[in-house]
Amino acid sequence: MDFIPGWTNTPFLGLGLSSGQFRPGTDVGNTSYFISLSDGPTSAYTSIPGIEQTVSVAVQQGVTYTLLVDVGHRLDASPTGNPRLKVNGVFYDGVGTPVPGGWATYSTTYVGLAADVGMPITIFLDSASFQGNFDNVRLSDSIPVPEPTATLPFGLALLAGFRAFARRTSRPTKGARN
C-alpha cells in the first residue's frame, strides 16, 4: 500500500482504513481486476468510508463547479465507489455506471449559492464496502455567461443614451454663425 499524495483518510467511528495507490496492471494474462485502465497504470483505492481532499477553491455565487472522477468496477467485486462534493455540510453525489472490469466517468455538479460564498469545497471518494477504485479526478469551475436577452435592455438603454448625447453635441448653439 502506497500513500496517496494530497489526500487524507476520512475518519469513521475509529475503524481502521485501507487506502492507497493500486497498480492492477492489464498485461497479457493479468486481467484479474480490470480489463482496461482509466488513466495510466496507477489508481487510488479505498475502503469504508473513503478519502478526502479540501481544494483551495472557495465557493463563488453563481459559479458552476463540476467534479469528474473515473470510477472502476473490479471483476472480483461489486462497484462501490462514489465520488462526492461537500460544501457547507451538504453532499452532492456523483452519477455514473461502470461496467464490470471497466471504468466510467462519474459527474457531480454544484452551483455556488449565496449562503456558501467563501466556503471551501471538499472532494470525497467514498466506498460503501469492499473497495472503491478511483482515477483521473478533476474539478472545474465555470462562470455563467449572461444570456443575450438579459443584456438586451442594458444595451438598448446605452444606445439611447449615446443617441441623446450625439444629438445634444451636434446641434449648433444659439447665436453661433455658420
In angstroms, the Cα distances linking 159 to 145, 149, 156, 163, 168 are 21, 16, 5, 6, 14
CA dihedral (47, 67, 112, 119) positive or negative: positive
Please provide the average confidence, as pLDDT, over all residues in the chain.
78
What is the percent of the chain where pLDDT is above 70? Answer: 71
- Say how many C-beta atoms besides its own lie within 10 A of residue 122's C-beta: 15
Q: Read off the pLDDT of residues 112-151 as tens digits, 9 standing for 90 and up.
A: 999 999 999 999 998 876 788 899 999 998 877 665 555 5
**Rounded Cα–Cα distance for residues 50 and 121 (Å):** 16
Domain borders along the chain are 8-145
| DSSP labels, 112-157 | --GGGTT-EEEEEEEESSS-EEEEEEEEEEEPPPPPHHHHHHHHHH
**Tens digit of each residue's pLDDT (9 = 90 or more) over 23-64:** 776 655 567 788 878 877 788 888 767 889 999 779 999 999
pLDDT at 83 exceeding the cut of 80: yes
Give the span between the Cα atoms of 123 and 100, in whole angstroms. 25
Q: Which pLDDT score is estimated for 165?
A: 45
The 10 Å CB-count burial string (b at 16+, else e) for 148-164 is eeeeeeeeeeeeeeeee
The residues, ordered by sequence, that sit 6+ positions from 68 with a Cβ below 8 Å of its Cβ are 105, 106, 107, 136, 137, 138, 139, 140
CATH class of 8-145: mainly beta
Which helix or strand (DSSP H or E) is residue 159 part of?
helix 148-170
Cβ contacts of 1 within 8 Å, gap of 6 or more: 18, 19, 20, 21
pTM over 0.85: no
**Is pLDDT at 102 greater than 70 in this prediction?**
yes
